[in-house]
A and B are shown apart, each in its own frame.
Chain A
Amino acid sequence: MAHESSYVPGNFVEKWIDDRLPIIRWSKEHLMDYPTPKNLNYWWTFGAILAFMLAVQIITGIVLAMHYTPQIGLAFDSVEHIRRDVNGGRIIQSVHATGASMFFAAMYIHMFRGLYFGSYKAPREVIWILGVLLFVLVVTTAFMGYVLPWGQMSFWAATVITNIVGAIPVIGTPILELLRGGFAVDNATLNRFFSLHYLLPFVIAAVVALHIWALHVPGNNNPIGVEVKSSRETVPFHPYYTMKDLFAVVVFCIPFAWFAFFAPDILGHPDNYIMANSQVTPAHIVPEWYFLPFYAILRAIDFNILFIDSKLGGVIFFAGAILVLFVVPWLDTSKVRSGTFRPIFKWFFWLFIANFVFLTWLGSAPAEGIYVLLSKVATAYYFIYFLIVLPLLGRFETPRPLPTSISEAVLAKHESPVTAQPVTASH
Chain B
Amino acid sequence: MATQSNPALQDAPQAGRRDFLYIATAAVGAVGVAGAVWPLINQLNPDASVLALASIEFDLSGIATGQSVTIKWRGLPVFVRNRTPEEVAAALAVPMSDLKDPQTDQERTKAGHEQWLIMIANCTHLGCIPVGESGEFGGWACPCHGSQFDTAGRIRKGPAPTNLVVPPYEFISDTLVQIG
Contact = CB atoms under 8 A, between A and B. Distances in A.
Interface in B30-64: 39-40, 42-45, 47-50
A18 B47 CA distance: 45
Contact of B5 (A67, A81, A236): A236
Contact of B47 (A86, A236, A407): A86
Contacts of A235: 3
Interface stretch (A87-95, A176-184, A318-326): A87-95
Contacts of A66: 43-44
Contacts of A407: 1
A87 B42 CA distance: 6
B40 A59 contact: yes
Interface in A384-427: 407, 411, 423, 425, 427
B2 interface: yes
Taking residues whose C-beta sits less than 8 angstroms from the other chain, chain A's interface range is: 20 to 34
Nearest to A411: B1
A346 interface: no
A91 B36 CA distance: 11
Given A235-B3, A236-B5, A411-B1, A88 B43 contact: yes
B6 interface: yes
B93 interface: no
A38 interface: yes
Contacts of A236: 5-6
A92 B1 contact: no
Interface in B1-18: 1-3, 5-6, 8
Interface in A217-254: 232, 235-236, 239
Given A38-B3, A423-B1, A425-B2, A92 B39 contact: yes
Interface string A55-95: 00001100100110000000000000100111111011000
Given A84-B48, A85-B49, A87-B47, A425 B1 contact: yes
A246 to B, nearest CB: 8
Contacts of A232: 2-3
A239 B1 CA distance: 20
A137 to B, nearest CB: 25
Interface residues of B, number: 16
A86 B43 contact: yes
B14 to A, nearest CB: 12
Nearest to A6: B5
Contacts of A411: 1
Nearest to A410: B1
Contacts of B49: 81, 85
A60 B43 CA distance: 11
B52 to A, nearest CB: 9
Given A236-B5, A411-B1, A425-B2, A85 B48 contact: yes
Nearest to B44: A66
B43 A92 contact: yes
Interface string A32-67: 000000100000000000000000000110010011
A84 B50 CA distance: 12
A223 B49 CA distance: 55
B43 A89 contact: yes
Nearest to A239: B8
Contacts of A88: 39, 42-43
Given A59-B40, A63-B40, A89 B5 contact: no
Nearest to A38: B3
Given A232-B2, A236-B6, A239-B8, A63 B43 contact: yes
A290 B78 CA distance: 54
A427 B177 CA distance: 79
B47 A89 contact: yes
Contacts of B3: 38, 232, 235
A85 B40 contact: no
Contacts of A86: 43, 47-48
Contacts of B42: 87-88
B6 A87 contact: no
Contacts of A425: 1-2
- Residue with the highest number of chain A CB atoms closer than 10 Å, among B39, B48, B50: B39
Contacts of B40: 59-60, 63, 92
Contacts of A84: 48
A86 B50 CA distance: 9
Contacts of A81: 47, 49
Contacts of B43: 63, 66-67, 86-89, 92
A63 B8 CA distance: 40
B118 to A, nearest CB: 28
A87 B2 contact: no
9 contacts: A66-B43, A66-B44, A88-B39, A88-B43, A91-B39, A92-B43, A232-B2, A236-B6, A425-B1
CB-CB nearest 7 A-B residue pairs: A88-B39, A85-B48, A85-B47, A85-B49, A86-B47, A87-B42, A87-B43
Given A86-B43, A87-B39, A92-B39, 4 more contacts: A63-B43, A87-B43, A236-B5, A425-B1
Interface of B: 1-3, 5-6, 8, 39-40, 42-45, 47-50
Interface of A: 38, 59-60, 63, 66-67, 81, 84-89, 91-92, 232, 235-236, 239, 407, 411, 423, 425, 427
